[in-house]
């Protein structure tokens, strides 16, 4: 079957044809496998954009395999590999280190995947895989310094306690950072989220937090930190999380969060269809905007294709989203609201979804259709 949109290969294999980054056939509905992922991995209801700090139960959740149950008495963090002084630390030893708390907006790199066409078969996020939490932990840099990195160390590998199979390859969930990335002062070994011990699904008893990067870098259920002398080539690093347009190219690695704004859909919803109804008159449309570099520079609200600037509030911190608001005089009829953000480097959200094989970094402009009564 040919791609009706004339896109280049790889296009449209049956789901079963390809283990790596399978694509849905054109028009194929969400499968039960995808639904299973979708119900395990919750998104943040967009009403959650109301809060500077997302309540824990509203924060999005992404778990590749199973949530490991950790016996914290036996649990140790091993710090080793190419270091002068390998150590094993109990959680109390880590929690007695210098402590900081920072608000960080985290977003899944697959956010927006479900609306791509053809659709990469994976966790089918619409736009809600985002949240901002206050993470409490100790800077990773201090621990690395104490361990003493060997001169020939090039990366740090972070290992989680969870294990599973992806594309036929069995592995522990592992990700790496270059030494210079890993040494950034804002990278944390975090044991608390919004002032309470991590909940099991968010990485108890200890996780990495990499502000500015898509969520995959923030390894949960940490058990190991290893300095390595060659770039890490594990599945979640070298195969997954790539901006890859065909199976023949390795693709650029997914790193920092692309600029995005979302709005709280105004009015009231229809339960089943989620169609929205708004009363005519003055409406204040609000939302949040973020990116993985500096603060978001601007947000615009679109009404039926006409864009007007929104007002941006202060961010709760340098790694967190900013609230925006914009007034709209709602006149009866059907309208399409949209919002788009621009970052300090001039990157603006696209009006057409940036397609890639794994469905990564789709920061397409959000549109919300409303009927004004
Ligand atoms: N050990 C481990 N860490 C992990 C994951 C995982 O499956 N296992 N998922 C990653 C991905 S893809 C994302 S988006 C974030 C989600 O963090 P959250 O569930 O706390 O929001 O965790 C990351 N860390
Ligand atoms: Mo993710």
How high does pLDDT run on average in the chain? 94
Q: Is the pLDDT of residue 2 over 50?
A: no
Question: Domain locations in the chain?
Answer: 9-253, 260-372
Task: Please choose, from the candidates 251, 254, 165, 168, the residue with its C-alpha nearest in 3D space to the C-alpha of residue 216.
Answer: 254
DSSP H helices, 76-139, are: 91-95
Which CATH architecture group holds 260-372?
Sandwich (2.60)
The per-residue pLDDT for 19 is 56
Q: Is 219 in the pocket of ligand 1 (CB under 6 A)?
A: yes
Q: Is the pLDDT of residue 9 over 70?
A: no
Q: 231 C-alpha to center of ligand 1: Å?
A: 21
Q: Could you report the per-residue pLDDT of 146-162, keeping only the tens digit for each?
A: 999 999 999 999 999 99
Q: Is 221 in the pocket of ligand 1 (CB under 6 A)?
A: yes
**Look-up: residue for tokens 């009829």?**
333
SS3 359: coil
Task: Please choose, from the candidates 9, 205, 230, the residue with its C-alpha nearest in 3D space to the C-alpha of residue 118.
Answer: 9
Q: Is the pLDDT of residue 7 over 80?
A: no
Q: Could you report the per-residue pLDDT of 227-286, keeping only the tens digit for each?
A: 999 999 999 999 999 999 999 999 999 999 999 999 999 999 999 999 999 999 999 999
Residue-wise over 179-212: b if at least 16 C-beta within 10 A, else e?
Answer: eebbbeebbbbbbbbbeeebeebbbbbbbbbbbb
| CA 123/CA 125 separation, integer angstroms | 6
Q: Is 173 in the pocket of ligand 1 (CB under 6 A)?
A: yes
Q: Could you report the per-residue pLDDT of 10-50, keeping only the tens digit for each?
A: 333 333 344 577 899 988 999 999 999 999 999 999 999 99
Q: Is 288 in the pocket of ligand 1 (CB under 6 A)?
A: no
Residue 53: both structure tokens together: 């700090």
Q: What's the predicted TM-score (pTM) here? A: 0.94
Fold of 9-253: Sulfite Oxidase; Chain A, domain 2 (3.90.420)
Largest alpha-carbon pair distance within the chain? Answer: 70
């Amino acid at each position: 079957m040919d791609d009706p949109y004339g896109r280049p290969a790889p296009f449209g294999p049956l789901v079963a044809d390809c283990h790596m980054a399978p694509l849905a056939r054109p028009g194929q509905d969400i499968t039960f496998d995808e639904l299973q992922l979708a119900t395990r991995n919750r998104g943040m209801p967009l009403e959650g954009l109301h809060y500077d700090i997302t309540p824990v139960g509203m924060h999005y959740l992404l778990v590749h395999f199973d949530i490991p149950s950790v016996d914290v008495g036996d649990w140790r963090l091993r710090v080793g590999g190419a270091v002068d002084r390998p150590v094993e630390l109990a959680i109390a030893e880590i929690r007695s280190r210098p402590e900081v708390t920072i608000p960080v907006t985290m977003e899944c790199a697959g956010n927006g995947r479900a609306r791509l066409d053809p659709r990469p078969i994976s966790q089918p996020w619409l736009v809600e895989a985002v949240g901002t939490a206050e993470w409490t932990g100790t800077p990773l840099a201090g621990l690395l310094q104490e361990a003493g990195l060997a001169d020939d160390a090039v990366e740090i590998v972070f290992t989680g306690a969870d294990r599973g199979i992806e594309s036929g390859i069995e592995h522990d969930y592992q990700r790496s950072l270059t030494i210079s990335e890993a040494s950034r002062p804002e990278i944390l070994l975090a044991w608390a989220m919004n002032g309470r011990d991590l909940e099991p699904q968010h990485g108890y008893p200890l996780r990495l937090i990499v502000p500015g990067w898509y969520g995959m870098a923030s390894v949960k259920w940490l058990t190991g930190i290893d300095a390595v002398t060659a770039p890490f080539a594990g599945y979640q690093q070298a195969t997954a999380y790539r901006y890859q347009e065909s199976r023949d190219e390795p693709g650029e690695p997914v790193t920092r969060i692309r600029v995005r704004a979302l709005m709280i859909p105004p009015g009231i919803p229809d339960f089943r269809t989620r169609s929205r109804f708004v009363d005519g008159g003055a409406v204040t449309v609000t939302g949040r905007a973020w990116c993985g570099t500096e603060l978001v520079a601007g947000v615009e609200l679109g009404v039926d294709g006409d864009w007007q600037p929104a007002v941006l509030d202060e961010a709760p911190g340098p790694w967190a989203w900013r609230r925006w608001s914009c007034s709209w005089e709602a006149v009866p009829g059907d309208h399409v609201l949209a919002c788009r953000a621009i970052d300090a480097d001039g990157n603006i959200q696209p009006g057409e979804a940036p397609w890639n094989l794994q469905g990564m970094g789709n920061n397409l402009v959000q549109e919300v259709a409303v009927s004004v009564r």
